[in-house]
Amino acid sequence: MENNRIIIGTRESRLALVQTGMVADFLREKYPERSVELLKMTTTGDRILDRRLDQIGGKGLFVKELDRALAAGECDLCVHSMKDLPMELPEELPLLGCSRREDPRDVLVLPAGRKEPDPSLPIGTSSRRRILQVQKLYPDAKFESVRGNLQTRLKKLDEGLYGGLILAAAGLKRMGLENRISRYFSTEEVIPAAGQGVLAIQGRADTYDFDLDGFIDPGTMLATLAERAFVRRLNGGCSLPVAAYGEFDGESLALRGLYYDEEKRVSRTEERSAIVRTKEEAEALGRGLAEQLIPGREI
């Protein structure tokens, strides 16, 4: 890489470009003498849209092409939605930090003019985590998988293929589509995916001649590390409806988690809080909550 260039890897979707643009704009302002460029890529997860992620290999399908480019030195860092990052990252491609969290909540999006989902049409979501929790609020609803970028899913809704969509508030807000939100689900009603609303910045384990101080949010990083440790301990991911959400008040981290026991077909939620100052303490909190949820079971 030329020293006067900073190249950022990103997916090509409009939402990904908006999110990566936040990091790029920060770096351009901090380093006005340098050229900040984007390396845009279509990932396997963007191309295969007819199956759920757990049926085609999980979250890693959104990052593997970008991982290769990063490892090969074709870009200096990559920006991802934190919830798209696999729970296990290569040592040579660590998480450098994350943004302050946008609204972490899940939301219901309905067609224009409706106040409740049309019961004759399915609610669109590909997430078992969302289905498990939202069906308690809409017990008569049926759910159907929907894939594609945000615009594609909204178009399918507006064409009458779905009675509603369950989406993340963060993406809609970043795209300027907050007006499409019909209902916010509280984080107690629907526990978000680990890292929801957070931008992850992934780099190489080598020396950089730039930094992201001022963009990276340490408190969000601790909360996200706890959430990811919880999911990792339960071997969760795309295939299991596992969720975790942490709130950090500057000293104490409160973590709430959801686990679904597929054998017994029951879900459990628990909470745990601790004083957290380090990455190790945050991850210990996440693992401890996982063990609290399924006592006596080897995990």
Give catalytic residue positions. 84
3-state secondary structure of 234: coil
**Spatial distance between the Cα atoms of 101 and 223, rounded to a whole number of angstroms:** 10
Give me 258's structure tokens. Answer: 């959801």
Q: At which residue do the structure tokens 């609803």 appear? A: 141
3-state secondary structure of 294: coil
Give me 254's structure tokens. Answer: 């409160």
- C-alpha gyration radius of the chain: 19
**Residue 56 φ/ψ, nearest 5 degrees:** -125, 10
Among 126, 242, 247, smallest CA distance to 187 is for 247
How many CA within 13 A on the CB side of residue 97?
12
Burial 33-63 (b: 16+ CB within 10 A, else e): ebebebbebebebbeeeeeebeeeebbbbbb
Where do runs of H (alpha helix) occur along the chain? 14-30, 44-47, 53-56, 64-71, 128-137, 150-158, 169-174, 218-233, 279-293
